[in-house]
Amino acid sequence: MTRRTAARSAAPEQATGAGREAAAERLLRSTAALSYDPEIEIDWSAPFDQDKGFILTHRCSLYGTALWEGLSPSQRLELGKHEAASVASTGIWLEAMLMRLLAKHAYHGDPVSRHTQYALAELADECRHTIMFARMIEKMGTPVYGPPARIRAAGDLMPALARGPAMWAAILVGEEIIDRLQREQVADESIQPLMRMVNKIHIIEEARHISFARAELPRSVAATGRAEMAYQRAVLARFALIVSRSLISPLVYRSVGLEPSQARAAALANPHHQETIRFGGEKLVAFLGDHGLIGRPGMRCWRLSYLVS
């Protein structure tokens, strides 16, 4: 499907603001009915089960490598814990960035519209998610990883650089990759109960956020000219590369006595890790491609991200 075809397919909903307002109204009702307070819903005092993992074994970045074969079972569990903490730390960084994008969007919106009100409701959800991820990292007793300073500095530019389709697509990149990995493990009893509860809350509430951004993106694409779309693709591709490479910090490997740069290189070359990234972004990449947001310029970044083969 081309961008123009995708825009035409979305046209009935775009014809008036009524469909947009009705969709926002449904999301607001869902927010009222299905929102969770992690402070209440999660038993933060419960001890971890020493035999359960924090991520699925085959999703560990070194799974299948010679370095993985050299780790004991307890080291593998420990590495998984630190990788889970790294993903959560990156999630906190992404949530903060997405909140800035949503706040900018709401700032320019009509406060009495349901659309703007839902954007504000989503901000409240993201605040709770950030606190939930922080409490989880604290409970695990790991460092707060996240991207290095130079990437954080680049992230400061996103609210200014991301506009139109790239803004909504960036929100989806920040949400959907982690969401799909969480969905895979939420029902798996080999995973720590606390992790599964964090995943459950995040999945339920992120479903609204993803729906909101997916509805807005085609409208934004339809209003964007061909020359501007090239800029949109370039900004989005760079952001996708940054996110994919930031999920697992090289510093996690110190937790099991591995040298960070060596282990990082092994992970990036690991077909299993590359497949995990592609799995996380599979549905997202198809959606963005259908709306003309994956292509030149930017294909090199997409391939380096492992989201596109």
Q: What is the pLDDT of residues 151-188, one digit of tens each?
A: 888 778 777 777 789 889 999 999 999 999 999 999 89
The residue assigned the tokens 């409970």 is: 139
307 versus 154: the higher-pLDDT residue is: 307
Contact 116, 106 (CB under 8 A): yes
pLDDT computed for residue 16 by the predictor: 52
pLDDT computed for residue 15 by the predictor: 39
Quote the percentage of the chain above a pLDDT of 70.
95
Q: What is the pLDDT of residues 36-50, one digit of tens each?
A: 899 999 999 999 999
User: Which pLDDT band, with edges at 50, 70 and 90, does 18 fall under?
Assistant: confident
User: Which pLDDT band, with edges at 50, 70 and 90, does 195 fall under?
Assistant: very high
Q: What is the mean pLDDT of residues 112-121?
A: 94
pLDDT computed for residue 7 by the predictor: 41
pLDDT computed for residue 10 by the predictor: 41
Q: Give how far Cα 33 sits from Cα of 112, 204, 241, Å.
A: 21, 11, 36
Whole-prediction pTM value?
0.89
Q: What is the pLDDT of residues 220-276, one digit of tens each?
A: 999 888 888 998 999 999 999 999 999 999 999 999 999 999 999 999 999 999 999
Lowest-confidence range among 15-29, 210-224, 267-281? Answer: 15-29
Lowest-confidence range among 14-18, 186-190, 199-203? Answer: 14-18
Predicted confidence (pLDDT) at residue 4 exceeds the cutoff of 70:
no
Structural domains for the chain: 23-32+50-57+72-305 (1.10.620.20)
The mean predicted confidence, pLDDT, of the chain is 90
Q: What angle do helix axes 226-246 and 271-290 make, rounded to 10 degrees?
A: 160
Q: Rounded CA gap, 36 and 54, in Å?
A: 22
Q: What is the mean pLDDT of residues 20-43?
A: 91
Q: What is the mean pLDDT of residues 114-121?
A: 93
77 versus 102: the higher-pLDDT residue is: 77
Predicted confidence (pLDDT) at residue 6 exceeds the cutoff of 70:
no
Q: Rounded CA gap, 187 and 266, in Å?
A: 30
Quote the percentage of the chain above a pLDDT of 90.
75
pLDDT computed for residue 11 by the predictor: 41
